[in-house]
Each structure stands twice: as C-alpha cells, then as structure tokens.
Structure 1
Amino acid sequence: MSDRSPASGGETPPRPSRASLRTAVVWDVLQDAIDRRAKAVGADALDVLDTGGGTGNFAVPLARLGHRVTVVDPSPNALFALERRAAEAGVAERVRGVQGDVHGLFDVVGREGFDVVLCHGVLEYVDDPAEGLRNTVDALRPGGALSLLAAGLGGAVLARALAGHFAEAHRALDDPDGRWGEGDPVPRRFTAEQLTELVSATGAEVSAVHGVRVFADLVPGVLVDTEPGALEALLRLEAAAAELAAFRSVATQLHVLAERQA
C-alpha cells in the first residue's frame, strides 16, 4: 500500500496513534482510491459521502484534505459532535451533516452525486444489508469508489476462543448472523465471501479485500504503549497481513474496496 497523499495536495492524515491504529489499513487503501479517482476526473476536490459517519472520524480528516464531505447519520448527538469537530478543525464549510440512514438515503441526498462513498460499520446494524448497500452504490457516480467496512466473523470467533469462551466461539460459527450469544453487542457479522457477494449483487466491481485489526485487538495495550517502536512495528505487521487471505479470515473487520461501473 502507498503512503502517497491524495491528488488534492492536502495534508496526509496523521500517522496512527494507539487509538487510531485500528483504522490505519483502511486509511491507506482509501487514500489510494481517492488519489486514483481525483486523477480520473481531473479534480483536486471530490464529493464524498460518509454513511453512518457519526462524529467524523473519517469525514473531518477527508475535509482537511480539501474534499467536500456529506455525513448521513441517524444520531442527532453524533451530528452535533461532528459539527463541533469540523469547526475546531477549520473545515466547517466542507463538512455537511444530515440526519438519516442508508434505507432512506435518497430522502436526504441525491443519486449518483458522489465520487466516493464510505459505508463503515453500517451493514452490521441495518435491517436489510443488501438494500442498504444497493443504496450506497446508487449514490456513486459511474466510476466512483465504494469503501465498505464491516465486522468479520472469524475475528469474533478467534477472540471468544482466546478468552476461553469456547462455547460462544462455536455458537458464533454456527449462527447465521455470526453472533456468539444474547449479550453480543454486534447484530451481524460477515465473511469476506458474503461481503463480496453483496457488493457484486449491486453491480459494483470488487477491486480489493483487506483484513483490518488482525492483531491490534489481540496484542496487550501495555506492550504497544511501553515497548519502543512497538506501535510502528505493529502497524507494519497489520499492513503486511491485511491482503493475505489466511489472516483476512480472522480479522476483526473486513474492508472491501469496489468501483461502480459506468
């Protein structure tokens, strides 16, 4: 994966801290996709839609790169925090928050209005993942890029097993939604095959699949915080393992990059 800045010439998002390490792989992939799209359309600033974007973990840094970002989220509290965060970052004029969700997406935004659409942490919670994903793809302009991030089944099974909850790990394997029990806070998890099938069913073309948080959730925080160079080494390890199917299958999250066909 490249460390290039997007074609906008803006600043690169800061290198991961302990808190942001979990999204480093996604950032690298997303930056490359934005770079390619900007060059393809000959524009420095792109129109980006962040569905379920909440308080702006991705939206605000993207706006700092010069892009125009619309965040659609059902939570008014999250949107209020987004507005404040964008103002503090000096990008309020490039960030717009609207209340809504992927099922009613076109009540608040137009079809084919965006160069890039982020659908991060959404499909786990919606009533109909297939419909929600179709809407996100329909919001793309032809040739636009979809960044899809969802909870991975394998990572949950591995985490429960390593915690000694073997029955729960087994239950997650057998459950149609990948849930390990009634106390599971995640309504639905996916395999890489399920996600790519959902994307392909919309007519979009999958270009890459990455495992996210393969090791980050398993390594003790004290080790990363106290060992010199551990954070950077873990980042490099995550990046190296992200594209390998053997590790992707046990990642906490799965990232799919796709393109809407013309």
Structure 2
Amino acid sequence: MSDPLRPRASLRTAVVWEVLREALERRAKAAGRDVLDVLDTGGGTGNFAVPAARLGHRVTVVDPSPNALFALETRAAETGVADRVHGVQGDTDNLFDVVERGSYDVVLCHGVLEYVDDPSEAVRRTAAALRPSGSLSLLAAGLGGAVLARAIAGHFTEARHALTDEAGRWGESDPVPRRFTVEQLSRLVTAAGLEAVAVHGVRVFSDLVPGGLVDTEPGAVDALLKLEAAAAELPAFHAVATQLHVLGER
C-alpha cells in the first residue's frame, strides 16, 4: 500500500503518521486483533483517519464542522474506505453525547488543545474514551517553534512576548490561542491517568526552510523528511519544534 502522506504533503504530517502507524501495529498485536477501533477527535477532513482506515481499522471522526465532515465523507469514499470511516458532529465538550466511553483502542487528539477552554479536561475526556488498554496520540502547537519563527522573521518583541505570555501567544493578532511545552503536555497526559511513553518534535525544520528551495532542489523533499524523522526524538530539538507530539498509553 502506498503511503497517502508522501511525499510533498508529508512534510507536515510524516513524523506523526509514522509514530501513529507503529502504535496501531503494537496495539493490534497486543490486542490479538487485526482491526482496531480508532477515535479521531477534531479529525476534520481525515488527514489521519483515512490512512488509518486504509490499514483496515474502524475510525470514528468527531468534529464540530459539518463542512469538514462532508469533505471527510467524500475523501473516504474516493479512497475506498467509506465503510470504515464514520463522521459525527461534536467536540470534546460533548464527546460522550456522540461516542461511548471506554470503547476505543486508540484515540487521536490533534490540533484540539490549542482551541478548547480547558485543555486538562479535554485530555481527560479523550483518555476516558480508551479501553482499559489503549493509546492516546496528542498533537499540539509548540511554544519554542513560535518563538523561533518570530525571531527569524525579525519580530523580536513578539518573540519575547510569546516567551512570557501565559498562553504562549506573541500578540493580539496571533491566530493560535494557546501553545505548549513538552512538560505541559506530558503533565496533561499523566493527569489523565496515562503514561507518556514517547515525545516527538514535529516540523522542526520544514516551516523554516524556504518553500522554493524544497520545490526546486532535486531530492529535497525526501532529504528533509529524513532530517525531520532523525531529529523528532531528540530532546534538544523539541524546544524549537512547531508542534509537539506525545504518545500516552495505559
């Protein structure tokens, strides 16, 4: 099966997808089943849900946007996995109005914590959707990456503001409501009763490299993908990653 996240579009998603795919394989082996039940909260148009379904798993996507769910349905049909992808409208606040507690082997919470009122409660709810043995894939905006990006762009005051702001925002016009450090995300996972078994820095370099260079230099995309993968697990690079990924397990 070809990887739907390669090559060009994968610059933003490849590291997380590789971690997720390995987690799915481990969980399936541990459960003694080929087919897992996966919940993708805030899954939108199915960037991860559809590839997971292509691996044979049953995926439920919860998202507040009807337009995103319509696009998900279309994408799943075009990919031939419509029978394994189910979209429902909702969010983490009303999660158990639309799905059952303790019913999923793997839960994804990607790009959600930045926008909820209470990140701690959101993680507790998503963790509560797991079966007694399960994995939580948590992806959120990283503070250090934003500081570095503003500084490189010459916005030094904004970079310093992000460092001292409680939510990690660089100013009133910042489109991201909240950013996190590795320590903050790990504490959220632990408080929800899970063990943080892996941390990865995501988009360490890809957001900083000029797009023209990647598009025109032969082999640049694959080389950058390999560089991102090599740096993802190194703690030294977590502090400057645009996004942070934490895998929690129980």
Q: Does 1:216 align with 2:190?
A: no
In the TM superposition, residue 246 of structure 1 has moved relative to its aligned partner by 1.0
Q: Does 1:108 align with 2:89?
A: no
| C-alpha distance in structure 2 between counterparts of 1:162 and 1:107, whole Å | 44
1:200-249 deviations in Å (ceiling 9; x for gaps): 00110110000000000000111111111111111111011111111111
* Matching residue of 2:229: 239
Identity %: 76
Q: Does 1:57 align with 2:22?
A: no
Residue type of the partner of 1:176? Answer: E
| C-alpha distance in structure 2 between counterparts of 1:15 and 1:165, whole Å | 33
| C-alpha distance in structure 1 between counterparts of 2:5 and 2:83, whole Å | 25
* Matching residue of 1:228: 218
- TM-score normalized with structure 1 length: 0.94
Structure 1 pair 28–56 and aligned structure 2 pair: CA distance change class (3 A):
same
1:252 to 239, 242, 249: 242
1:123 to 110, 113, 118: 113
Structure 1 pair 91–15 and aligned structure 2 pair: CA distance change class (3 A):
closer
In the TM superposition, residue 19 of structure 1 has moved relative to its aligned partner by 2.1
In the TM superposition, residue 18 of structure 1 has moved relative to its aligned partner by 2.0
Whether the 8 Å contact between 1:12 and 1:65 is mirrored in structure 2 is no
| C-alpha distance in structure 2 between counterparts of 1:64 and 1:144, whole Å | 20
| C-alpha distance in structure 2 between counterparts of 1:12 and 1:32, whole Å | 16
In the TM superposition, residue 13 of structure 1 has moved relative to its aligned partner by 2.4
| C-alpha distance in structure 2 between counterparts of 1:52 and 1:174, whole Å | 29
Pairwise CA RMSD: 0.9
* Matching residue of 2:32: 42
| C-alpha distance in structure 1 between counterparts of 2:138 and 2:5, whole Å | 22
| C-alpha distance in structure 1 between counterparts of 2:24 and 2:238, whole Å | 23
Secondary structure of 1:20's partner?
Answer: helix
| C-alpha distance in structure 2 between counterparts of 1:194 and 1:142, whole Å | 24
Structure 1 pair 210–158 and aligned structure 2 pair: CA distance change class (3 A):
same
| C-alpha distance in structure 2 between counterparts of 1:55 and 1:235, whole Å | 23
In the TM superposition, residue 140 of structure 1 has moved relative to its aligned partner by 0.4
* Matching residue of 2:184: 194
- TM-score normalized with structure 2 length: 0.98
Give the gaps of 5 or more residues in structure 1. 1-10
